[in-house]
Amino acid sequence: MRASAFVYPWDVNGDPGAAARIAGLGVRQATLASAYHSTRALTPRHPRHRIVTASHAAVLYPVDPARWQGRRLRPYGAGDWAPGDAYGEAAEALAGAGLDVHTWVVLAHNSRLGEEFPDTSVVNAYGDRYPWAPCIAQPETRAYLTDLAVEAAVRPGAGGTELESLGWYGLPHLHAHDKTSGVALGDAGTYLMSLCFCPSCREGYARLGIEADELASAVRRALEPVWRGATPAGGWEAVEKLLGGELATATRAWRDSVARSLQTDVVAAVRAAAPEGFRILLHADPDSYHVGANAGVDPEHILTVADGVVVPCAGGPALLPPFAAHATEENVLAANFPVVTGMGGTPATLFDDATRAAASGATELRLYHAGLASEEDLTLTADALTSLD
């Protein structure tokens, strides 16, 4: 199985041995961040630093000024954590070590955008804004995300791209000193807390015959038992039970149509700008009502639009079969495994995990994350990949 390791430019730049070390794992590809959200990252082997703090979501290359001239929403450049063409420098080193390089592009996840332009953010049923979550129903935001995807995905020499958070983002969000786990929301509560009530979404509900204020009241009533400690069990059926079948179905119809059209438009725009043979994958979840980095999609639809998907498999291969049921021989189904023990990864069981994933339809592997892992984690990962060969 073809394997790729995720990597940041700052893992490679300034470390003469990094590219060869990543290639030595036995991977054929590096999935290299070209547009990424804010983060604090460990660099356990770098000769110059151990901690990199990316203070805001940024592109890791010089933007095309003509593309963004006169536009309110535009990408932010990186600070000293990724100066100049950090992506290009790292890509050249990785390619020089014999690796195929694909871009890794984070889209609808940008706290700085929400802080500077609050009107772009998802607004929940209580009126709280989520600055990390741009509302993908807003025309200006959709235009920004589409052009960002094209520019960040189609970098010189890249053989493909992997698009993360190309869909709805909602309540779930890793945040500094996070204090949001005091109440267990479950899938249903998370969905209700992720419903958006910005002006664009209110207009969308109205087109479906739903009065937005009444819907917001219904959502708040549905969540009252949750705040008292009654965690709703189950998935979509729990949403229908809490909100009522008719309202639940209507909200999902709106959100599914918005996400589906954005995914279609973005992939088409990237494909139009890319050279022949350029592969476009989405980080995806087969339940379209799910939110987050692995955007909820319709498996049948997305595999006719994109070349494939990257599927989270930390908890096992359960999310793969819905995609496998609709995949053709041309589609890529990449099983994504964390291999950093300190972040919950299990590199010691990677061989067995990958074998189960293959039996569930996976055609490739993704390994998160070559730059963050310890030496022991990398050794275990390399041993597993050798055994898989």
Res. 246: pLDDT tops 90 = yes
**pLDDT for residue 21 is more than 80:** yes
Mean pLDDT value of segment 349-369: 98
Mean pLDDT of the 77-96 span: 98
What's the mean pLDDT in 310-322?
98
Section 228-239 average pLDDT: 91
Phi, psi of 334 (to 5 degrees): -95, 120
Residue-wise pLDDT tens digits, 184-230: 899 999 999 999 999 999 999 999 999 999 999 999 999 999 999 88
Q: How confident is the model at residue 28 (pLDDT cuts 50, 70, 90)?
A: very high
> What mean pLDDT do residues 121-150 have?
98
Q: What pLDDT does residue 324 have?
A: 98
- Residue 175 has a pLDDT of 74
> What number is the average pLDDT over the span 132-137?
98
Q: What pLDDT is stored for residue 362 in this prediction? A: 98
What pLDDT shows up at residue 65? 96
Average pLDDT over residues 40-52: 97
Task: Find the mean pLDDT for residues 332-356.
Answer: 98
Residue range 164-185, pLDDT digits in tens:
999 999 998 877 767 777 888 9
| pLDDT beyond 80 at 12 | yes
Q: pLDDT by residue (tens digit) across 253-307?
A: 999 999 999 999 999 999 999 999 999 999 999 999 999 999 999 999 999 999 9
Q: Please check the confidence at residue 56 and state whether its pLDDT lies above 80.
A: yes
Convert the chain into a string of H (helix), E (strand) and C (coil): CEEEEEECHHHHCCCCCHHHHHHCCCCCEEEEEEEECCEEEECCCCCCCCEEEECCCEECCCCCHHHHCCCCCCCCECCCCCCCCHHHHHHHHHHHCCCEEEEEEECCCCHHHHHHCHHHEEECCCCCEEEEEECCCCHHHHHHHHHHHHHHHCCCCCCEEEEECCCCCCCCCCCCCCCCCCCCCHHHHHHHHHCCCCHHHHHHHHHCCCCHHHHHHHHHHHHHHHHCCCCCCCCHHHHHHHHCHHHHHHHHHHHHHHHHHHHHHHHHHHHHHCCCCCEEEEEEECCCCCCCCCEECCHHHHHHHCCEEEEECCCCCCCCHHHHCCCCCCCEEEEEEECCHHHCCCHHHHHHHHHHHHHCCCCEEEEECCCCCCHHHHHHHHHHHHHHC
Q: What is the mean pLDDT of residues 85-90?
A: 98
Confidence band of 308 (pLDDT split at 50, 70, 90): very high
Domains along the chain with CATH numbers: 2-118+132-175+256-388 (3.20.20.80)
Averaged pLDDT of the chain? 96
Q: Please tell me the predicted confidence (pLDDT) of residue 346.
A: 97
- For residue 115, the model assigns a pLDDT of 97
The pLDDT value recorded for residue 232 is 85
CB 345 within 8 A of CB 377: yes
Q: Classify strands 29-36 and 100-106 as parallel, antiparallel or unpaired.
A: parallel
pLDDT at 269: 98
Summarize the confidence of residues 232-254 as an average pLDDT.
95
* 349 pLDDT above the threshold of 90: yes
Task: Give the pLDDT confidence score for residue 179 in this predicted structure.
Answer: 73
